[in-house]
Amino acid sequence: MFDEIRFNKIERLPKYLFAQINDIKMAKRRAGEDVIDFSMGNPDGPAPKHVIEKLIESAKKPKNHRYSVSKGIYKLRVAICNWYERRYGVVLDPESEAVATMGSKEGYVHLVQAITNFGDVAIVPDPTYPIHSYAFILAGGSVQKMKLPYDENYEVNEEEFFKNLYKALNDAFPKPKFLVVNFPHNPSTATVSLEFYKELVKVAKKERFYIISDIAYADLTYDGYKTPSILEVEGAKDIAVESFTLSKSYNMAGWRVGFVVGNKKLVGALQKIKSWIDYGMFTPIQVAATVALNGPQDCVEEIRQKYKKRRDVLIESFSRAGWEIKKPKATMFVWAKIPKEFEKIGSLEFSKKLLTEAKVAVSPGIGFGEYGENYVRIALIENEKRIRQAARNIKKFLKEAKE
Ligand SMILES: Cc1ncc(COP(=O)(O)O)c(C=O)c1O
């Protein structure tokens, strides 16, 4: 019925590639098989106890059940600004340079809705967390991709990055208005230095585009690496915003709390669109989030240590199983080149095979863009015992594949 009535925006969204892996995984589970699931970046631990207690205490107060504030309660915005100052020495105004969001994904999508004119172009490095591109498609814009160059140790090759960026700027029409960066990077785990951001801010000012930086994995860093913020660069606020989330650092993914800070024009646009769309997160969640940001940070350190341990166990046990992978310096992922003998079938078929034959679910790199091909993303969301079990299954799978 009504076949002539089309929903163009929705039709511009492709079928979720990961659905193919999900379907196999669910069928296996229904058949009673045990699948070791590394396919989604969904943290498996509880939120910190003191944060949960604050949520309960706050939920008992009737006044907290009213509509909240769409840009976030003032105390939360102050906590966000203090977090930036403590961590990065960046001073922000809680009224005009900070907005609390329902997770960073909601903030990002609505920011892009607010600032994209029909036909605008954004540059998004490939591979990418899919919504970083599709938010622009949904908003009626388009995406100029550029290859994200990184070396064996997942460090961005900065010279190459700027070469690719200039090429993207030259290739695109109309001239791109936005660039999205996300370091530490999902899915590749790639990292950058503060020097990189200094250069990037210079280029953005010269070429006249805004930068949206996503540092969702800022706390999950290892072996001495520390995540820089683009806002540490003098004058970055003129052209950049940055988002962060409590999902990963505090195991609060289901709570949906994040924020966007920086450039007043962009933050103001997001505050305005949010005031039309929502009434803000449930106040007790905002109060508890304030406590998470202001309170003791040993919970973050525990979470970081947990992922580090899992990373080490995975790299070591998979290597003994015959799958050599380089250690990432950040995120809750391992970005693994698929074993040589499977290169010709590509990451999607390899992931299906791994799931069907070894009962190990991973995300095929191609799902993150064409330059994600030949890799898979392994999320560190299973415990050490199950990581070792996965390694045993993979050892058998690789041995049988060779025979
Ligand atoms: C790079 C990146 N940004 C943002 C998000 C979204 O996080 P949330 O909406 O829970 O804050 C994710 C989640 O996996 C992510 O990988």
Where exactly are the structural domains of the chain?
8-46+299-402, 65-294
Distance of alpha carbon 184 from its chain centroid, rounded?
A: 9
pLDDT of 16 above 80: no
Q: pLDDT value at position 19?
A: 85
78 CB near ligand 1 (under 6 Å): no
pLDDT of 188 above 90: yes
Cα distance between residue 6 and residue 4, in whole Å: 6
What atom of ligand 1 comes closest to residue 104's alpha carbon?
11
Mean pLDDT of 211-236: 98
Q: What confidence tier does 12 reach under pLDDT thresholds 50, 70, 90?
A: confident
pLDDT of 393 above 90: yes
CATH of domain 8-46+299-402: 3.90.1150.10
Mean pLDDT of 2-21: 86
pLDDT of 359 above 80: yes
| Phi, psi dihedrals of residue 256, rounded to the nearest 5° | 65, 70
CATH of domain 65-294: 3.40.640.10
> pLDDT tens-digit profile of 105-142?
999 999 999 999 999 999 999 999 999 999 999 999 99
Q: pLDDT value at position 17?
A: 75
Residue from 108, 134, 214, 260 whose mutation best tests the ligand 1 pocket (most atoms within 8 A of CB): 214
Mapping DSSP to helix (H, G, I), strand (E, B) and coil, where does residue 192 land? coil
pLDDT of 172 above 90: yes
Contact 178, 135 (CB under 8 A): no
Q: pLDDT value at position 14?
A: 84
105 CB near ligand 1 (under 6 Å): yes
Mean pLDDT of 338-346: 95
Mean pLDDT of 303-310: 98
Q: What confidence tier does 364 reach under pLDDT thresholds 50, 70, 90?
A: very high
Whether 8-46+299-402 and 65-294 share one fold: the answer is no
What atom of ligand 1 comes closest to residue 106's alpha carbon?
9
Q: pLDDT value at position 8?
A: 87
Helices (H), 210-262: 246-249
Q: pLDDT value at position 9?
A: 86
* Cis-peptide, bond into residue 130, ω within 30° of zero: no
Integer-rounded Cα Rg, in Å, for the chain is 21
Per the prediction, the chain carries an average pLDDT of: 96
Contact 4, 347 (CB under 8 A): no
Residue from 40, 105, 128, 180 whose mutation best tests the ligand 1 pocket (most atoms within 8 A of CB): 105
pLDDT of 234 above 90: yes
194: left (phi over 0), alpha (psi -120 to 50) or beta: alpha
216 CB near ligand 1 (under 6 Å): yes
Q: pLDDT value at position 1?
A: 84
Q: How far is CA 357 from CA 196, 360, 399, in A?
A: 42, 8, 12
214 CB near ligand 1 (under 6 Å): yes
245 CB near ligand 1 (under 6 Å): yes
Q: Is the dihedral of CA 233, 238, 240, 245 positive or negative?
A: positive
Q: pLDDT value at position 268?
A: 98
By the 10 Å C-beta count (0-12 exposed, 13-18 middle, 19+ buried), 350 is classed as buried
> pLDDT tens-digit profile of 68-77?
999 999 999 9
Q: pLDDT value at position 15?
A: 79
pLDDT of 402 above 90: no
> pLDDT tens-digit profile of 308-327?
999 999 999 999 999 999 99
